[in-house]
Amino acid sequence: MILQTVQTGSGSQAQEKNLEGTFASNICIVGDGAEAIALAGLVSSNVAGQDAVAYIRLLGGVTPPHIELASAGLNSSMAPENADGTRKQAASRISSPVNIARYYPENEIQYSLKSRDVEECLDHANAVVISGPATAYSAIAKALAPYLTDGITIAIAGAPLLGAWQFGQELKNFRPELIVNLVELDWLFNHAQSSPDGVAVLGLRRRVNLSGRSRNEIRRALPLACTLSPGLLPASNMLERGFLDAESVVRPVFILSALLGSRIEALGDLSTLLNRSNLAMLAEIEQEISRLSFSYKCALADFARALREESYCQVNFEPQDIVDDEQCYEATLAEALVGISGEWFKGLDWSHRMAQEVLARYVSDHLVLLSDLARLANVPTPVLDGVISISSALLGFDLRNRARGLNHLNLSGLSQNELLELVNS
């Protein structure tokens, strides 16, 4: 794919510095393939027509794509077509009640540089966007650290719970004196696919939770975050953002259900996979996470509300009372899951190995850390722990030993109050 580029050099740099009446931001997007180009498309689209100018540089070769994109193939092109089979151009968009997709033709995505040279891409950059798995944070930090400047803003897209803290610790290993603003965001979209004349995005998020290591970092990073998503929903702290991440709990539960029932193909249509058992399991896990959230003084989890808002089923409604009317809640949750399933799993060529890889990633990146936080707060989470144990048995190794637990993040020696003070600074 050949994208339109803007030549760089002393002239363009002077233009960046001397723009009047606009805010010029030099953004380096770290990632490979369709992911990075889709992020560039989001930035280009969100700043269009505003008093902001973004100079985008794409840095590749530093981090692999996320596990879903690395292992999965989309079984059909996401780019819209005309009746004669040719690709539609700039005015084309894909939109339906279930699948929300956006197509960025090459002439709408402009970046000033695409390179694997870290120093070149970070030269004069005042913002960095990272798209990559948590397992690659150490490698990314090692590559970027020598060329980052004090005060630079770094946004980690698709970060797991406490992702900003983990990346900050990795940076300290290589540049202890470096001062940066670090924030973490939810997934901005589910899948991205290149086509001959652009890139298509499936599952563009309506709401994106945002947090940072401190409130000051969140405030400083908002201009950058708004260029990535107009649907920002700042959380009180990193723990709250993780507790509100319903998708990182719901997805592994249904992947586990598909694996146990030998129904991998059903992941493309959750309505055929839903049953009273996995709905009841999710309701119990939500209650456990709500008690955990309450213990850490965070907003309570509400899976049905979060998922329904994301899937456009209903907006601005009151959360259901799952204690007094369990059947009503399960029906609401089922409606939300059916509504959003197309954005999550539909269109992917699922295999048994791919499902195992995705399950391992979600459990080791998110669920084990939730379990560790629960033990620290003396909050029982038997159903959540059961999902971790069953997943470990199915995969053939203990996921806790390879997970992003408190010990892995160098937080195991803290008490609950000390951890709260840390994230509420």
pLDDT in tens, 374-389: 999 999 999 999 999 9
In this predicted model, which residue has the larger pLDDT, 99 or 271? 271
pLDDT of residue 343: 62
Report CA 320 to chain centroid distance, whole Å. Answer: 26
pLDDT in tens, 179-227: 999 999 998 887 788 777 888 887 787 788 999 999 889 988 888 888 8
Are 6 and 36 in contact by the 8 Å Cβ rule? The answer is: no
pLDDT of residue 35: 84
pLDDT at 54 over 80: no
Cross-strand bridge partners of residue 111: 5
DSSP string, 64-112: PPPHHHHH--BSS--S-B-TTSPBP-TT--EE-SS-EEEEEEGGG--BS
How far is Cα 327 from Cα 424, in angstroms, rounded to an integer?
A: 37
**115: three-class secondary structure by DSSP:** strand
pLDDT (mean) for 394-419: 91
Number of Cβ within 10 Å of residue 424's Cβ equals 15
pLDDT at 46 over 90: no
pLDDT of residue 79: 39
pLDDT (mean) for 13-32: 58
pLDDT of residue 65: 61
pLDDT of residue 24: 52
pLDDT at 59 over 50: yes
pLDDT of residue 7: 36
Q: What is the total residue count of the chain?
A: 425
Strand 198-202 and strand 191-195: the pairing is antiparallel
Residue 414 buriedness (CB in 10 A; 0-12 / 13-18 / 19+)? middle
pLDDT in tens, 258-314: 999 888 888 877 778 888 888 889 889 999 999 999 999 998 878 877 777 766 533
Residue in the structure block whose two tokens are 């456990």: 288
Domain-wise residue ranges, the chain: 10-234, 244-423
In this predicted model, which residue has the larger pLDDT, 153 or 311? 153
pLDDT of residue 76: 43
pLDDT of residue 107: 78
pLDDT at 367 over 90: yes
pLDDT at 255 over 80: yes
Domain 10-234 has CATH 3.40.50.720: yes
Number of Cβ within 10 Å of residue 351's Cβ equals 14
pLDDT in tens, 325-352: 455 555 677 777 776 655 677 667 788 9
pLDDT of residue 155: 95
**342: three-class secondary structure by DSSP:** helix
pLDDT band at 315 (very low <50, low <70, confident <90, very high): very low
Q: In what order do the strands lie in the sheet with 23-30?
A: 113-115, 52-59, 23-30, 127-131, 153-157, 181-185, 208-212, 232-234
What token pair was written down for 243? 């507790």
pLDDT (mean) for 33-62: 81
pLDDT of residue 20: 34
Q: In what order do the strands lie in the sheet with 94-95?
A: 94-95, 100-105, 198-202, 191-195
pLDDT of residue 227: 86
In this predicted model, which residue has the larger pLDDT, 207 or 8? 207
Average per-residue pLDDT in the chain? 79
Greatest mean pLDDT among 19-33, 106-120, 144-158: 144-158
Q: Which amino acid is at 111?
A: Y
How far is Cα 307 from Cα 354, in angstroms, rounded to an integer?
A: 24
The secondary structure of the chain in percent helix, strand, coil, rounded to multiples of 5, reads: 50, 15, 35
pLDDT of residue 101: 63
Are 212 and 184 in contact by the 8 Å Cβ rule? The answer is: yes
Percent of the chain with pLDDT over 70: 76
The architecture of the domain spanning 244-423 is: Orthogonal Bundle (1.10)
How far is Cα 302 from Cα 317, in angstroms, rounded to an integer?
A: 12
**345: three-class secondary structure by DSSP:** coil
Number of Cβ within 10 Å of residue 126's Cβ equals 15
**129: three-class secondary structure by DSSP:** strand
Provide the phi-psi class of 9: left if phi over 0, else alpha when psi is between -120 and 50, else beta.
left
How far is Cα 186 from Cα 180, in angstroms, rounded to an integer?
A: 20
